[in-house]
A and B are shown apart, each in its own frame.
Chain A
Amino acid sequence: MLTRSRQSSRHTFTLALLLWLICTPLQAALDIEIFGGGATQIPIAIAPFAAEEKLKQSVTAVVAADLQRSGLFRLVDASGPALRDPRQIVYSDWKNRGAAALVIGSTVILPDGQVEVGFHLMDVAKQVQLIDHIMIVPADRLRAAAHQIADIIYEKLTGDVGVFSTRIAYVVKQGNKYALQVADADGFNAQSIIEYSEPIISPAWSPDGTQIAYVSFENKKPVVYVQTLATRARKAVANFKGSNSAPAWSPDGKKLAVVLSLQGGSQIFLVNADGSGLQRLSQSSGIDTEPNFSPDGQSIIFTSDRGGSPQIYRMPVTGTASGAAERLTFEGSYNVSPHHSRDGKSFIFIHRSGARFNVAVQDLATRQVQLLTDSRFDESPSPAPNDKMILYATEVKGRGILAVVSSDGKTRQELSMQVGDIREPAWGPLPRTR
């Protein structure tokens, strides 16, 4: 099977070089499973792509980092000469190194300056080829090509959709400047969407990935805006008397749940994505905030202090009169920031135990809770589009950074951009072209 694809230049991002720090060095990970790792991890060897030393960007390193960060792969020592052709493979050697899967690849700089990147994914035990793929990309799109290769490998070996070509949004505070940025899922290729001298919080991707809703304090109070990424056009969709915050998109992208103090307290309302048709949803005398739609759009989960401490509740969006909320969390006195998994079967949230704030997951059917992190100040968990990883904000030496934890809590890595205080991450949807 030979498939060819030409990488489109969907995103014409200004390239900003950011530092990608891996908390555990790659070499150490060859023998040690990061944070324990499961028996389910697939041992994979990624041989250095031939002739990539002539390129400005290594493809091998990006593919390896992507697969490792997912928590589903264990990188096996792949040192040695580059292999261009499957016929060069000595399978017994790779078997001895413990690899179940092997990737070999090559790069060629074409006369027009574009780069041809090809790779083979091999099953080491069966000695058969699983994938043979070639793509031609502009020289400045090599990282995107590498992410696509990681997606193809991930999908073939796990049967699940890969998310390495997705994007993330987050807020960077640098001095007194705030920027809403969008970057690749590994933190590279960051681009500022807006920059202000006032805070920005709570970015939320529209389901189709073309717009981001967020809260800006530029007008002495919180106001909810929706901004279109392609045109930079933006519109205030909730700018009522009092505070306006916590935007959450309905799965069809037509409505937003927002939190307003318009009628007293902090209560959840629905508004059309163009700012029209305001409709109150929650009815309590206390705080109802951080709404998040279920994937079927029928209900929301949210944070409320109606029981005396902040806990997570669920209520229907349609049909019955609002106010019929069901409490979901019972462990501890502080459970906030809920987000449904994309399959709708569980939700992730922040759980405080003692003085620590950590990412946790709760199964909606069994109510079983699992803590996924053990740092001190974790905030704003956001699930990957395949539910296998969770992006969250944490703190290292007083500075905000982003980190990714696998859905089983066993693999954790920090995405550390070069500068500033980083917070409020939101993982974007799968690219529409897939």
Chain B
Amino acid sequence: MKKVISVLLIGLLSACASQTTQPTAGEEKPAAQAAAAPVAPADPNLNPILRDPNNILSKRSVYYDYDSYVVKNEYRPLVQAHAQYLRGNAGARVLLQGNADERGSREYNLALGQKRADSVKNAMTLSGAKDSQIESVSLGEEKPRATGHDEASWAENRRTDIRYQGE
């Protein structure tokens, strides 16, 4: 009976996580909730290692310079760690969500965000992840994590986020 309840709880929490991705909410909140949950280790999509703050796999964001989609050297270890995880867990799937700052055309920014997500995907496949494990998409300027209209906010929003299936 306990087991059933915890499974239900996970279901509730993950449903919660998928619904709270609002523009201003950021992604810290659902992550914290999921980390506190008794995650079943048997499910590769909910592997606790992905949420362990001491593990590099808990780091999920790659940032970019203005008008750039090049993965900077400081994010190479992060991207490689996720690629290795995907290589070692054939059932794992990731969604890479590229983002752009608010300046300019929404559709062009959507395409810019796509370039950013694609750059992370390319780096991951070069490090051994399978193409079929990765979907790169763009949220453009539509879901800013920082809602200010200044350089600090714009820098925060030039970003690719790595989300595992089930998150």
Contact = CB atoms under 8 A, between A and B. Distances in A.
A337 B104 CA distance: 10
A220 B137 contact: yes
B128 to A, nearest CB: 19
B135 A334 contact: no
A310 interface: yes
B114 interface: yes
Contacts of A264: 118
A34 interface: no
Interface string B107-140: 1101110110010000000000000000111111
Contact residues on B (Cβ < 8 Å of other chain), bracket: 20 to 34
Contact of B143 (A217, A241, A334): A217
Interface string A178-205: 0000000000000000000101011000
B107 A246 contact: yes
Contacts of B118: 261, 264-265
B49 to A, nearest CB: 23
A289 B107 contact: yes
Contacts of B103: 357, 377
Contacts of A221: 95, 97, 135, 137-139
Given A176-B22, A290-B105, A357-B104, A242 B110 contact: no
B166 to A, nearest CB: 12
B23 interface: yes
Nearest to B102: A377
B112 to A, nearest CB: 7
A428 interface: no
Contact of B23 (A176, A334, A350, A377): A176
Given A243-B114, A261-B114, A201 B23 contact: no
Contact residues on A (Cβ < 8 Å of other chain), bracket: 35 or more
Contacts of A379: 105-106
B2 interface: no
Nearest to A288: B111
A220 B165 CA distance: 11
Contacts of B163: 220
Contacts of A287: 108, 111-112, 114-115
Given A201-B107, A266-B114, A290-B107, A261 B143 contact: no
Contacts of A290: 105, 107-108
A259 B111 contact: yes
B140 to A, nearest CB: 8
Interface string B133-167: 00111111011000001000000000000010000
Contact of B137 (A199, A261, A350): A261
A380 interface: yes
Given A221-B95, A264-B118, A398-B149, A336 B108 contact: yes
A242 B104 contact: no
Given A243-B110, A246-B107, A289-B111, A261 B23 contact: no
25 contacts: A176-B24, A199-B142, A202-B107, A220-B18, A220-B21, A220-B95, A221-B97, A221-B135, A221-B138, A221-B139, A222-B137, A242-B136, A246-B107, A259-B111, A261-B114, A261-B118, A264-B118, A266-B114, A287-B112, A337-B105, A337-B108, A350-B105, A357-B104, A380-B106, A398-B149
**Can you list the 5 inter-chain pairs with the closest CB atoms, starting with the nearest?**
A221-B137, A199-B142, A266-B111, A336-B105, A287-B111
Given A217-B139, A217-B143, 19 more contacts: A176-B23, A197-B19, A220-B163, A222-B137, A245-B107, A246-B110, A259-B110, A261-B114, A264-B118, A265-B114, A287-B111, A289-B108, A289-B110, A290-B107, A305-B111, A337-B108, A357-B104, A380-B106, A398-B149
